[in-house]
Structure 1
Amino acid sequence: MKQTYWSTKKVIIKKFFYGFTDTEIGKQLSISRQAVNRLKNRALERLRNFV
């Protein structure tokens, strides 16, 4: 669970604060572009439910 939290946090920061693409983030974190997209979408859904 903690690993997923930190991975999600890294994806969100790199995507929205630094402007990296999903492919660039995937290469940096050694995960696929699809995994980046999935983590990002789950985080955004949690934020929508929170707000």
Structure 2
Amino acid sequence: MQSLARTFSAHKQGLEEQWGQGEQVATEELRLALQHYRSFFNRLLNT
């Protein structure tokens, strides 16, 4: 779980850096990030 949490944290940080620099983040990237977060929380709740 710690590895998974680190992966999500790194991905979140990357998206925030793009936003902070004024770069546009593709809708597909946001959709995939939300899917991954949903999957992560579903795994947490099922354990």
Instruction: Report the TM range for the smaller structure's normalisation.
Output: 0.3 to 0.5
Normalising by structure 1, we get a TM-score of 0.45
